[in-house]
């Protein structure tokens, strides 16, 4: 059956099914609408089934068409990815995966600086909680939250982060000492390695029962705290912009024991270090954070109290 179906007809079907229009498919494929219609009609004749319900203004997939599109769409996605990956073998592209909050709060706002320093390079950034699987060659670099899981990779622990209560300035006026937090709405980040009970323990207190807002991303907790809806226990690295602008402050920076830990790590396959684009990006991000280059020996400290407090977090 496959040998009887021209690839051009399948391509026309996929474009029409994806765009929902023979005309849009024709524009994308640089064909005429009648050519797309004819190709799809020939495909229907070959398959002996109707793939589209046609009307004067639109086309809609039939159940058979939807079934075919599930397979065809996935196949073309794979083909596009393969072509992009092969095209990405040149020195101009670096494909970066990152933990979502680090990407949104720290990395994305600085990409303009990187591109200004390296105008011939291109960055493709993806963010999710899934770790990059370098074995499928989707990414060159991963910035992970927590310990890396991939084998055969270079690992550079990033800067030690300070985790401290953060809130809007108006709310901070009523927070002078740790016990004042018991009267506040405490915002939780469910997946964060440092939780409220650890911070209260570091300050000689028992954590209260927590009720109210919970988030699975730090950038959501930071945004909510900046709106004045409660106090978030968050990294001053991730909240750097909000602290600099004054939207957030650290009310207990001078009078409490905060938590310091290494939360994020930069990882990449050792072989990728040979690519100039990967090397440039890795060197740049580590230099921004004042961290040694990959390949050096790195101390990877565990979570520990910062008994000296964290004056630099006060905003």
pLDDT value at residue 304: 46
Averaged confidence pLDDT in the chain: 86
Sequence-distant (6+) residues with CB within 8 A of 209 are: none
pLDDT value at residue 245: 96
CA 106 to CA 158: how far, in whole Å?
12
Minimal CA–CA distance to 171: which of 218, 95, 225? Answer: 225
- Which of 98-102, 220-224, 290-294 is predicted least confidently? 290-294
Q: What is the dihedral of CA 266, 272, 275, 277, to 10 degrees?
A: -30
pLDDT in tens, 145-203: 988 877 778 889 999 999 999 999 999 999 999 999 999 999 998 889 999 999 999 99
In the numeric block, the tokens 């398959």 are attached to 47
- Which of 33-42, 116-125, 144-153, 195-204 is predicted least confidently? 144-153
CB 205 within 8 A of CB 179: yes
Task: Select the highest-mean-pLDDT range: 93-97, 136-140, 256-260.
Answer: 256-260
pLDDT value at residue 298: 39
Provide the 10 A C-beta neighbour count for residue 174. 11
pLDDT value at residue 71: 93
List the structure tokens of 111: 């990409």
pLDDT in tens, 235-272: 999 999 999 999 999 999 889 999 999 999 999 888 77
Helix, strand or coil, per DSSP, at residue 92 = coil
pLDDT(204) > 60? yes
In the numeric block, the tokens 């009523």 are attached to 174
Minimal CA–CA distance to 208: which of 217, 195, 192? Answer: 195
Kindly list the distances between the CA atom of residue 124 and the CA atoms of 93, 139, 275, in Å, as whole numbers in the listed order: 7, 9, 15
pLDDT value at residue 272: 73
Look at strands 258-261 and 161-166 and give their pairing: antiparallel
pLDDT(52) > 70? yes
pLDDT value at residue 148: 80
User: Exposure of 28 by Cβ count < 10 A (0-12 exposed, 13-18 middle, 19+ buried)?
Assistant: middle
pLDDT value at residue 1: 59
pLDDT(69) > 70? yes
- Which is more confident, 268 or 292? 268
pLDDT value at residue 3: 67
pLDDT value at residue 79: 85
Average pLDDT for 29-43? 94
Sequence-distant (6+) residues with CB within 8 A of 119 are: none
pLDDT(227) > 60? yes
pLDDT value at residue 295: 52
């Amino acid at each position: 059956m496959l040998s009887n179906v021209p690839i051009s007809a399948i391509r026309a079907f996929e474009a029409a099914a994806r765009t929902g229009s023979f005309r849009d498919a024709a524009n994308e494929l640089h064909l005429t609408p009648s050519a797309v219609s004819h190709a799809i009609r020939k495909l229907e004749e070959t398959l002996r089934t109707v793939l589209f319900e046609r009307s004067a203004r639109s086309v809609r997939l039939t159940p058979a068409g939807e079934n075919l599109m599930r397979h065809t769409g996935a196949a073309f996605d794979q083909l596009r990815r393969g072509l992009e990956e092969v095209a990405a073998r040149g020195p101009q592209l670096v494909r970066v995966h990152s933990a979502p909050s680090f990407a949104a709060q720290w990395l994305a706002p600085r990409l303009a600086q990187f591109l200004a320093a390296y105008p011939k390079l291109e960055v493709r950034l993806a963010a999710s909680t899934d770790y990059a699987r370098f074995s499928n060659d989707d990414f060159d670099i991963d910035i992970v939250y927590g310990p890396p899981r991939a084998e055969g990779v270079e690992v550079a622990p990033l800067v030690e982060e300070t985790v401290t209560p953060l809130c809007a300035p108006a709310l901070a006026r009523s927070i002078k000492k740790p016990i004042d937090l018991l009267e506040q709405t405490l915002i939780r980040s469910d997946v964060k390695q440092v939780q409220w009970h650890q911070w209260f323990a570091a300050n000689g207190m028992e954590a209260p029962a927590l009720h109210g807002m919970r988030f699975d991303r730090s950038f959501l907790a930071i945004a909510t705290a900046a709106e004045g809806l409660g106090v978030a226990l968050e990294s001053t690295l991730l909240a750097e912009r909000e602290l600099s602008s004054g939207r957030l402050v650290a009310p207990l920076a001078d009078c409490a024991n905060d938590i310091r830990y290494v939360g994020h790590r930069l990882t990449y396959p050792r072989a990728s270090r040979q690519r100039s684009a990967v090397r440039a990006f890795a060197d740049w991000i580590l230099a921004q954070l004042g961290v040694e280059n990959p390949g050096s020996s790195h101390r990877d400290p565990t979570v520990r109290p910062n008994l000296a407090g964290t004056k630099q977090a006060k905003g």
